Amino acid sequence: MAPYFPHTEADVQSMLEKAGLKSLDDLYSDVPSEFLRRGAYHLPDALSEQELRDWLHSLDSQNAHLKVFVGQGAYDHYTPSVIPYLTQRSEFLTAYTPYQCEISQGTLRYIFEYQSMICALTGMDISNASLYDGPTAAAEAMKMSISCTRKKTRVLLSKGLLPHVIKVVETYAKFHGVEIGYVPVMNGQTCPNCLKAELAKDDVAGVIVPSINRYGIVEDHSGFADAIHAEKGLLIEYCDPSALAVVKTPGEWDADIAVGDGQPLGLPLCYGGPYVGFMAVKKDYMRKMPGRIVGQTADKEGRRAFVLTLQAREQHIKREKATSNICSNESLMALWVTIYLSLMGPEGLREVNRLSSDGAHYLYDELVKTGQFEEVFPGKPFLKEFVLKPKKFPGLMQQKLEKAGYFAALDTEEGYVSFCVTEKRTKAEIDELVKIIKEG
C-alpha cells in the first residue's frame, strides 16, 4: 500500500454509496469498455522508501562527480545554503500560481522583488515574473519584436550567441513563420558593418546579440541601437545576469528587450534544468510582454498588496490572440534568484565576477604558456569564459582531465576548446589542471 492514499476500504464504500455507485469500476461506466485496461501496467513493482533511496543513490553514483571548468550556458557558481533551505519551505514549494492573491502574498511579494532586481541588473524598465530558460526567453523576444514592429518579417541572430540559443530560436521561428537572418562574428565580436548591411534590407523586426558571446568575449555594441532604431527594429540583448554587475547593461546599450538565463545566479547545474529565463523591456513594450507580471496596489484597508496584473495580454483571456502561450513559468527558480541576489548584494555579485575573472585569466595565461594552444582572439576582453585553439586533437587531453576529476576543454563547433572558471575553482585545482595538460 503506497503512503499517499488516505482512503480506507470503509471510506471507499461510504463514498461510493453517496455517489450512488456500487463499485470503483462504475466510476468509469461512461468510458467505452474497449478502452478500459484490465490488469496492471508494464511498470516496476512498488518500492519502499528505503529501496527507492538506495536505487536513486546508485544512479546518482553512476554520474561523474567532476570539477566543472565549462560554461557555455550553464555556470557552476556557488549556491549559498540559505537558498535551498528557504526555497524548500512548503508554503513556497507546494503553492501554485497566485490566483488567490489574499493567500499568496508571499509568492507575489517575492516575484515583485525578483522583477525589481532583474530591472536593476539589466537597467530596463519592466520585468516579467520569469520564463522557462534563456533560449526560450530569446525565442519569446523574437516573437515579440515581430508583434511590436510593423510590416517587418525578419529577425537577425548574431552568430556569437550560444549554440543552444540559436537552435531554440530557429525552432520557434520556423513554426511561427518568422524568417531568421544571421550576423557573423568578426574578430571575436558581432560584426557592426554586417549588421548594417542586413538592416538596409528594411525587413528587420529585431536583432538578438549576446552581451557576452559564445567565445566568452564581452561585446562592444556601440552604435547598434541607433542603427537598429533608425530602421524601426528592436535591439534585443542576450545576457549573463551575473556578469551584468560589471559589464555594460542592456539599458546602457539602449536595448529594447533584455533576455537571458538566470542560472548563473546560484542555480545548480542539475543537468540543464530547472533554470529560469528572464525578460525585461522598455516601458513602451509593457503590454506586448509575455508571461505573468506582478504589480503593487492596495487592499480595501489601504494596506500595500500585490496582484497579478496586466492579464489582458495573457492566454486565458486572449486565447488565440495572446502574445504568448506561457502560463506556468519557473516561479520557484525566480525565488532562488531573488534570495541569491539578496544575499550577494551589489558588492557580493561584483566579487563573484572578480574571483571568476581573475581565476579565468590566470588559467588562460597558464594554458597559453604550455605551448599547446593558439590564442584565437588575443587581447579581446573576457570575464570567466574563453576559448583556445588546441594545436593537436584534444580527445586524449579531455580523457586525462576527466580521469583526474575535471570537466574542461569542451569542444566547440569551430574546433576550439572552451574553458570557464567560477569562484568555486581554486588555484590548486587550476594548477593541477594545467599540469595535466602540460604533461600531455
Partner 1 sequence: MKYYDKLIFELSKEGRVGYSLPKNQFPAAPELPLQVKRTSALCLPEVSEPDVVRHYTNLSQMNFGVDTGFYPLGSCTMKYNPKINEEIAALPGFNGLHPLMHAGLTKGALKVYQEMNKALAAITGMYAFTFDPCAGAHGELTGLMIMRQYHMNRGDLKRTKVIVPDSAHGTNPASAAVCGLEVVEVKSLENGRIDVEALKPLLDDSVAGIMMTNPNTLGLFETQIKTIAKLVHEAGGLLYYDGANMNPLMGVVRPGDMGFDIMHLNLHKTFSTPHGGGGPGAGPVGVAKHLEDCLPDIRVSGFHGNFGVILRAYAYILMLGKDNFKKVGQYSVLSANYIKESLKDLYKLPIEGVCKHEFVFDGLINDGAHDDVPGATTLDVAKRLLDYGFHAPTIYFPLLFHQALMIEPTETESKETIDAFIAVMRKIAEEAAADPMLLHDAPHNTPISRPDETAAARNPILKYQDAN
Partner 2 sequence: MSKILEGLKYSESHEWVKAEGNVAYIGVTDFAQKEMGDITYVDMPEEGDDVLAGEEFGALESVKASSELISPVSGVVLAANTELEDAPEKVNEDAFGSWIIKVEMSNAAELDALMDAAGYKAHIGE
Q: Which residues bind partner 2 (CB under 8 A)?
A: 287, 311-312, 317-318, 321
300 binds partner 1 (CB under 8 A): yes
232 binds partner 1 (CB under 8 A): no
Q: How far is the CB of 422 from partner 2 (least distance, A)?
A: 44
Which cell goes with 63?
Answer: 554520474
Q: How far is the CB of 230 from partner 2 (least distance, A)?
A: 18
Instruction: Determine which residue in the list 348, 372, 389, 405 makes contact with partner 1, applying CB under 8 A.
Output: 348
> How would you classify the pairing of strands 406-407 and 67-68?
parallel
122 binds partner 1 (CB under 8 A): no
Beta-carbon contacts of 395 under 8 Å, excluding residues fewer than 6 positions away, are none
Beta-carbon contacts of 280 under 8 Å, excluding residues fewer than 6 positions away, are 118, 119, 122, 124, 125, 126, 127, 128, 250, 257, 258, 259
Count other Cβ atoms within 10 Å, centred on residue 91.
10
Instruction: Determine which residue in the list 346, 395, 415, 440 makes contact with partner 1, applying CB under 8 A.
Output: 346
Q: Which does 56 bind (CB under 5 to 8 A by kind): partner 1, partner 2, none?
A: partner 1
76 binds partner 1 (CB under 8 A): yes
Q: How far is the CB of 146 from partner 2 (least distance, A)?
A: 17
Side chain identity at residue 11, one-letter code: D
Q: How far apart are CA 140 and CA 324, in angstroms?
A: 8
Q: Which does 296 bind (CB under 5 to 8 A by kind): partner 2, partner 1, none?
A: partner 1
Q: How far is the CB of 318 from partner 2 (least distance, A)?
A: 6
Which is nearest to 307 in space by CA: 294, 316, 298, 317?
Answer: 294
Nearer to partner 1, 194 or 305 (CB): 305
Q: How far is the CB of 60 from partner 1 (least distance, A)?
A: 4
Q: Which does 324 bind (CB under 5 to 8 A by kind): partner 1, partner 2, none?
A: partner 1
Q: How far apart are CA 325 and CA 314, in angstroms?
A: 7
Residues 26-55 that bind partner 1 (CB under 8 A): 26-32, 34-37, 40-47, 49, 52-53, 55
Side chain identity at residue 77, one-letter code: H
The SS3 of residue 272 is helix
Residue span 259-298 as binding mask against partner 1, x where in contact by CB under 8 A, dash where not: --x------xxxxxxxxx---------x-----xxxxxxx
Q: How far apart are CA 172 and CA 157, in angstroms?
A: 13
Nearer to partner 2, 167 or 318 (CB): 318
Count how many residues are written for the chain: 440
Which cell goes with 309?
Answer: 496584473
Q: How far is the CB of 148 from partner 2 (least distance, A)?
A: 13
342 binds partner 1 (CB under 8 A): yes
403 binds partner 1 (CB under 8 A): no
Instruction: Determine which residue in the list 179, 191, 362, 389 makes contact with partner 1, applying CB under 8 A.
Output: 362
Q: How far is the CB of 227 from partner 1 (least distance, A)?
A: 17
Nearer to partner 1, 202 or 309 (CB): 309
Instruction: Determine which residue in the list 148, 228, 338, 406 makes contact with partner 1, applying CB under 8 A.
Output: 338
Q: How far apart are CA 368 and CA 290, in angstroms?
A: 45
Residue pair 50/58 in contact (Cβ under 8 Å)? The answer is: no
Residue pair 364/374 in contact (Cβ under 8 Å)? The answer is: no
Q: How far is the CB of 42 from partner 1 (least distance, A)?
A: 4
Beta-carbon contacts of 71 under 8 Å, excluding residues fewer than 6 positions away, are 216, 384, 385, 418, 420
Q: How far apart are CA 409 and CA 258, in angstroms?
A: 29
Instruction: Determine which residue in the list 19, 186, 200, 396 makes contact with partner 1, applying CB under 8 A.
Output: 19
The SS3 of residue 147 is helix
153 binds partner 1 (CB under 8 A): no
Q: How far is the CB of 104 from partner 2 (least distance, A)?
A: 16
Applying CB under 8 A, the site for partner 1 has a residue count of 205
Residue pair 150/220 in contact (Cβ under 8 Å)? The answer is: no
